[in-house]
Structure 1
Amino acid sequence: MPALKFAQLRYLALILVAWLTLFTLTRSVLLLGHLGEADLGLSELARLYATGLGYDLGFVCYAALPLAFYLLLCPRRIWQQRWHRGMLHAVVAVSLFAMLFTAVAEWLFWDEFGVRFNFIAVDYLVYSDEVINNILESYPIYPLLAALAVIAVVAAVLLRKATSAALNAPLLSWRDSTWVAAGFVLTACVSSLLLNQDFPRGSDGNAYQRELASNGPYQFFAAFRNNELDYPQFYAALEQNEIGKQLRAELGEPNARFIGSDPLDIRRVIDNPGQVQRRNVVLVTIESLSAKYLGSFGDSRNLTPNLDSLRQQSLFFSQFYASGTRTDRGLEAISLSIPPTPGRSIVKRIGRESGFASLGQQFQALGYDSAFVYGGRGYFDNMNAFFSGNGYRVVDQSSVAEQDIHFKNAWGMSDEDLYSQTLKLADADHATGKPFYLQLMTTSNHRPYTYPSGRIDIPSGDGREGAVKYTDHAIGQFLEQARQKPWFANTLFVFVADHTAGSAGTEDLPVANYHIPLFIYAPGFIEPGEHAGLASQIDLAPTLLGLLNVDYTSTFFGRNVLRADAAPGRALIGNYQHLGLFDGHDLAILSPRKSMRRHDDALGASHESRATASDPLVKRNITYYQGASYDFSHHLLDWQQPAATYSERLAAAPAQVQPQSEDPAHAL
């Protein structure tokens, strides 16, 4: 091209071609690892690379702007200086290092999550302390960086002749440089209009194909920009009165009386029959515990002997699903009983993360000590602000004396240290005669998968398998210690995962990859059994309050699934873009650009097809997510202090109540 005879453009082209080449190589390496899942024919392969080139060009249009402006506007007298030429040679080496670093980071991120950079990567940038320590503990990062630096320098030396030739070419005139700079700005503006996170790959089809066609750095900045998505702007919506009627039909039950005047206000009085049970509650949210790891679900590695035994002693939910793919989504669903609205979770919406009618608020109003107990540092994922603003006191790693922490890694103290602190908190509350609700969040089942040595037969840091087995070991030890406590017989223990170990698949929302276990264990109060009905994390709070026969004012989108008259189950699952409703057989998905789809036989062949809002399953899906987004934005989920009769009823309740097997909630 004649334009490339000029020094500024030749030099810039050299770097941009290197970026485009590395992007293509990265895409190819990732593709080779997933040829089977991507299910590519020749036409799909060509479209994948063509789409990928569009994304790659879109990214370099933005990324090249600072360097392009400098090259085009640099005065001639500086350009000719020896030091300046040396600096531009060094820029080539630094740029090559940045390219290689990005490629390796993409590969590691893909290996962990099965997707390009996305919302998770944005969060990891925000919480850099935990993430950097996690990386340092998980990978030989310093030798890796040194190797990348050596490769970058060697490549820059090999390109030295081409770089010198570019720098020795004639320079553009000042006038032409101005026009070219304006052209770069125009190209970037056009790129921003033509490209978005889904263009032109769409929302349909094979998820691996779409992810491979993407550009990681482009998706990172797009996710950073779109950290909150306005539901009416991006998703299919229905008329509010229609949604209101459907929503009340979904959430209505004989013991519920709606009291809100807004058509979409779900605030209702729940009248649970029977004497309120004055029971302690310990709710353990377990990091990344997929149901597939349990031996009772078919895993043959004997990783979960304690949980497999607990399944026989508990009320166990065999068709229970996580709401999202991150810890903050699990905590949101369990605490607020709300579907995973698009964009970032409510837990992390700084300035709008407090004041909700949470499960902690409900227990606090009953006179309980409501505490959130976290193995790590509670500023991560904005947990401290969320829980302290929604009826909990927070106990995290910073609240624990250093001598009481016997093992910790990048994410926090070991599970057994967390459980030791929990026992102390329960002992202290019991000594004062105060019932307690302790909501725990563990950390050990997470990369770098390290834990105290000598606990299990798998070495620390050896991978997910060892972390799962240690997690199970710590639970067994915790329950054994709790059984020796005077408050044990009057306590419900709830064990549930925050999310699964991985949610990537050939579909946007692979239902099987959201499957998690739920145990409710209370010997002498909850009869062992199995609840095979479909449920998800948003159903946990109302089900738990139902077991305790608590009357309360609810803003929960979940239902007490143990009632004999409970409606057929459904699971609300999603990620920050795609929003799904699974009815036990089929799945409806809402996506940006008002896309609507359904997957028939979602756990089997999963036939995907386009759908409309007239489809009953899609309409139910819209109902939940449009309703939740509306209620959140209109403060219809806010906490309102209940009448004093809450605590009065609790005070009048006996400290312990014998099992009532005739109650449908217990006779399972």
Structure 2
Amino acid sequence: MKSIFKNRYSLVLFFSTLFIFLSTSLRIVFLIWAKNDVEWSFSSMLHIFCYGLLYDITVVSCFTIPFTLYLLIIPNRFINSLFDQIMLYFMYTLYWIILYFSFFAEITFWDEFKSRFNFIAVDYLIYTYEVVKNIQESYPLPLLIGGIITITAVTIYFTFKRNAFKNSFSSTPKWSKKLLVFCLNLVITVTLLNILSNETTIQSKNRYTSEIAKNGIFSFFSAFRNNHLKFDEHYLTLPISEAFAQVKTDLQDSKTRYDVAFKNPLRRTILANNPEQPEQKPNVILVLMESMSSSFLKEQYNEKSITPNLNKIADSSIFFSNMFANGTRTVRGMEAIALSIPPTPGNSIVKRVNNQNLYTIANVFKDKGYQNMFFYGGDGYFDNMNAFFGGNGFDIYDRGRGSILSDKINTKRHNIDDKEVSFENAWGICDEDIYNKVIQVADFKHKTKEPFFAFVMSTSNHKPYTYEEGKIDIPSGTGRAGAVKYSDYAIGKFLEEAKNKPWFENTVFVFVADHCASSAGKDAIDVKNHHVPAMIYNLKNHPNEVVSKEVSQIDLVPTLFSLLNWNYTSQFYGKDIFDPQYQPHSYVGTYIKLGYKKGDDVIILSDQMKINQYKWDKNNLKETAIDPSFKKSIISHYQTADYLFSNNLLQEK
């Protein structure tokens, strides 16, 4: 065996050794990057590098299967022929281009998400236009491509100088030995793929330890394969009737009347707060703010607030100072607001198939005579937004580039024209432009005397953090602080212009973040990185106040409905937070981890039928004994949410 790998297989051995060395080096880079959060103990380091080696061997064994198969099937008489030389040089060069690109991509992904490749990376593979353009605007792409080509060339030269090519072309092993090498390669690959999963390394309680141990390529294909998890196969469950009974008990209050005529057990009527008073029917503009962490409202740049307008709005609105977002992606925020439902494992419902004709907040608005509209400054094809909102009763206003809505979607789509755009980057037009479009449409709706609900998605607070120069005192493209301040500036300008409109006095504005700018931390779920701002502005007949009780993102719109004194049909998990029977709580989840929080108590469901409970001290999760009633609640809420969608019980009828 030794002579085989020093001769015909020397290129395979050299490739494998160099890949493991470089992958380990990248692991060390991430370890230093996360030095303040990773656990620096012998057991943690052993965990990182032992599991890391296993993942690396698995990946390299997959890469070498085509190598060893080629070396098996090519007859010895063709060794060192022009064809043989072209094939080996081509395969070797192509592999390194792919690997160096993946290393670069992993570094940029870690910079953004503090994680190895996951569902987000798979999503980005689908939406190539936005991603490629974002990379072009965020990084010196010609330099990076040139760097990848240069490093690949250096690697090939180094391999050549080590005589790996020469040895590969000068040996003629017996077919039986070639078969043995291929079979050994195949056995190692199949065995490791069967015993390893992306969750194998999650034995560590420190999230960074688990993430650094992984291999990015392995993680990517694992996420690609497992983009939806069947709840009853991966998580703890209860008898479904018992789970629904628990949720109904948790949702019950003095204004709730369950309707047994519907298949959805949670279908119910929510009575008006004061039946003797008329309903309020103002226009409603809800702005889902991109990546607007609560912490930004306190941050400063050059001793000045970066969110002066949001701070001003918070002082003159119903400000929810203790709200927590469902998840870590925009589609999770959309799901939470539109469907008022806990996050289901895997992909958001916004991105799933069979997500049309659901009962959403749009149905409530429609029943009250409203026109529903969705505004997005990019192409709504991204993240399946147009299909979801268009398929659930919203007219679409977006920056489409030719993609159309399905014929099955009975809605209108309006393109934002070039003449309406003052600035645009990879993710779409700037926030000022999308707000100008909202005002333009609101003017038209006011003339037709149609009450409207506008769901607006902002984009400017996103890498590459660019905007038109001269708007604020932070140069464009210099970092998150500038993007936050520009986003805040655009909101301030939006409200100032709206105040001059005849429809302003009869319009309520809701501002809420989709998720925090950063969601990663050392714990499985970093609770503080789910803390988002939310405020209801310009609501008549209710005093401005700061609501300090814990609130879930899914409670925001049901609370608004109650403040408007509406009697309406609901199958939402969200409730009126001002109801005396409201129990403060929130959902804090990721794609895999499903968290439920009540004050400082946090309980987390994980796949592989795991459950853990913690005390949260604002910075860390400290494991505690599991409370049986808390355990029953979290299982019930997440299990029933998944069950309702999976069994087509979230539909409007």
State the TM-score, normalized to the length of structure 2.
Answer: 0.94
Distance 1:236 1:560 in 2: 29
Matched, 1:222 2:222: yes
Note the C-alpha offset of 1:197: 1.2
Q: What residue in structure 1 maps to residue 527 of structure 2?
A: 511
Residue correspondence of structure 1 range 52-131 to structure 2 within 5 A: 52-131=52-131
Q: What residue in structure 2 maps to residue 570 of structure 1?
A: 585
Matched, 1:340 2:343: yes
Residue in structure 1 matching 2:652, options 616, 624, 639: 639
Q: Does the 8 A contact of 1:458 with 1:466 survive in 2? A: yes
Distance 2:299 2:259 in 1: 43
Q: What residue in structure 2 maps to residue 555 of structure 1?
A: 571
Matched, 1:466 2:482: yes
Note the C-alpha offset of 1:118: 0.6
Q: Note the alpha carbon deviations across 1:487-518, whole angstroms, 9 max, x for none.
A: 11111100000111010001111110000000
Matched, 1:452 2:468: yes
Q: What residue in structure 2 maps to residue 194 of structure 1?
A: 195
Residue in structure 2 matching 1:393, options 385, 392, 395: 395
Distance 1:48 1:610, change over 3 A: farther
Q: What residue in structure 2 maps to residue 379 of structure 1?
A: 381
Equivalent AA in structure 2 for residue 326 of structure 1:
R
Q: Does the 8 A contact of 1:264 with 1:627 survive in 2? A: no
Q: What residue in structure 1 maps to residue 407 of structure 2?
A: none
Q: Does the 8 A contact of 1:6 with 1:169 survive in 2? A: no
Note the C-alpha offset of 1:130: 0.1
Residue correspondence of structure 1 range 408-419 to structure 2 within 5 A: 408-419=424-435
Q: What residue in structure 2 maps to residue 654 of structure 1?
A: none
Matched, 1:539 2:552: no
Residue in structure 2 matching 1:628, options 627, 641, 646: 641
Note the C-alpha offset of 1:609: 4.6
Q: What residue in structure 2 maps to residue 593 of structure 1?
A: 608
Q: What residue in structure 2 maps to residue 649 of structure 1?
A: none
Note the C-alpha offset of 1:160: 0.3
Q: What residue in structure 2 maps to residue 185 of structure 1?
A: 186
The structure 1 segments of at least 4 consecutive aligned residues displaced by more than 6 Å after TM superposition are: 261-264, 296-299
Equivalent AA in structure 2 for residue 376 of structure 1:
G
Q: Does the 8 A contact of 2:201 with 2:213 survive in 1? A: no
3-state secondary structure, aligned to 2:559: helix
How many residues align? The count is 635
Distance 2:314 2:259 in 1: 39
Q: What residue in structure 1 maps to residue 280 of structure 2?
A: 277
Note the C-alpha offset of 1:98: 2.7
Equivalent AA in structure 1 for residue 437 of structure 2:
Q
Matched, 1:520 2:536: yes
Note the C-alpha offset of 1:540: 1.5
Residue in structure 2 matching 1:615, options 628, 632, 653: 628
Note the C-alpha offset of 1:2: 2.4
Q: Does the 8 A contact of 1:319 with 1:515 survive in 2? A: yes
Q: Note the alpha carbon deviations across 1:445-493, whole angstroms, 9 max, x for none.
A: 0000011111100111111000000000000000000001111111110
Bigger drift between 5-14 and 285-294 goes to: 5-14
Q: Does the 8 A contact of 1:270 with 1:551 survive in 2? A: yes
- C-alpha RMSD over aligned residues: 2.0
Matched, 1:325 2:340: no
Q: Does the 8 A contact of 2:373 with 2:397 survive in 1? A: yes
Note the C-alpha offset of 1:265: 2.0
Distance 1:105 1:159 in 2: 24
Bigger drift between 592-601 and 264-273 goes to: 264-273
Bigger drift between 326-335 and 593-602 goes to: 593-602
Equivalent AA in structure 2 for residue 582 of structure 1:
K
Q: Does the 8 A contact of 2:79 with 2:172 survive in 1? A: no
Equivalent AA in structure 2 for residue 133 of structure 1:
K
Note the C-alpha offset of 1:141: 1.2
Note the C-alpha offset of 1:573: 1.2
Distance 1:172 1:261 in 2: 76
Distance 1:486 1:21, change over 3 A: same
Distance 2:302 2:357 in 1: 42
Bigger drift between 623-632 and 129-138 goes to: 623-632
Q: Does the 8 A contact of 2:300 with 2:306 survive in 1? A: no
Q: What residue in structure 2 maps to residue 501 of structure 1?
A: 517
Q: What residue in structure 2 maps to residue 47 of structure 1?
A: 47
Q: Note the alpha carbon deviations across 1:403-444, whole angstroms, 9 max, x for none.
A: 111110000000000000000111111111110000000000
Distance 1:283 1:58, change over 3 A: same
3-state secondary structure, aligned to 2:29: helix
Note the C-alpha offset of 1:19: 1.3
Residue correspondence of structure 1 range 425-436 to structure 2 within 5 A: 425-436=441-452
Q: What residue in structure 2 maps to residue 656 of structure 1?
A: none
Note the C-alpha offset of 1:179: 4.2
Equivalent AA in structure 2 for residue 188 of structure 1:
T
Q: Which runs of 5+ in 2 are unaligned?
A: 401-414
Q: What residue in structure 2 maps to residue 172 of structure 1?
A: 173
Note the C-alpha offset of 1:534: 0.9
Distance 2:576 2:416 in 1: 36
Note the C-alpha offset of 1:48: 1.3
Distance 1:91 1:635, change over 3 A: closer
Q: Does the 8 A contact of 2:576 with 2:582 survive in 1? A: no
Bigger drift between 387-396 and 273-282 goes to: 273-282
Bigger drift between 457-466 and 549-558 goes to: 549-558
Distance 1:125 1:602, change over 3 A: farther
Bigger drift between 579-588 and 83-92 goes to: 83-92
3-state secondary structure, aligned to 2:280: coil
Bigger drift between 465-474 and 362-371 goes to: 362-371
Distance 2:2 2:97 in 1: 30
Q: What residue in structure 1 maps to residue 289 of structure 2?
A: 286
Equivalent AA in structure 1 for residue 360 of structure 2:
S
Equivalent AA in structure 2 for residue 629 of structure 1:
D
State the TM-score, normalized to the length of structure 1.
Answer: 0.92
Distance 2:106 2:396 in 1: 35
Q: Does the 8 A contact of 1:494 with 1:519 survive in 2? A: yes
Distance 1:3 1:367, change over 3 A: farther
Distance 1:590 1:8, change over 3 A: farther
Note the C-alpha offset of 1:192: 2.1
Equivalent AA in structure 1 for residue 536 of structure 2:
I
Q: Does the 8 A contact of 1:509 with 1:574 survive in 2? A: yes
Q: What residue in structure 2 maps to residue 653 of structure 1?
A: none
Note the C-alpha offset of 1:80: 2.6
Q: What residue in structure 1 maps to residue 409 of structure 2?
A: none
Note the C-alpha offset of 1:241: 2.6
Distance 1:226 1:250 in 2: 31
Q: What residue in structure 1 maps to residue 19 of structure 2?
A: 19
Note the C-alpha offset of 1:519: 0.8
3-state secondary structure, aligned to 1:36: coil
Distance 1:561 1:296, change over 3 A: farther
Q: Does the 8 A contact of 1:236 with 1:595 survive in 2? A: yes
Note the C-alpha offset of 1:92: 3.0
3-state secondary structure, aligned to 2:36: helix
Matched, 1:309 2:325: no
Q: What residue in structure 1 maps to residue 423 of structure 2?
A: 407
3-state secondary structure, aligned to 1:35: coil
Bigger drift between 28-37 and 410-419 goes to: 28-37
3-state secondary structure, aligned to 1:159: helix
Note the C-alpha offset of 1:149: 1.2
Q: Does the 8 A contact of 1:289 with 1:445 survive in 2? A: yes
Q: What residue in structure 2 maps to residue 644 of structure 1?
A: none
Note the C-alpha offset of 1:83: 4.6
Note the C-alpha offset of 1:286: 0.6
3-state secondary structure, aligned to 2:37: helix
Distance 1:296 1:246, change over 3 A: farther
Q: Which runs of 5+ in 1 are unaligned?
A: 641-668
Q: Does the 8 A contact of 1:292 with 1:299 survive in 2? A: no
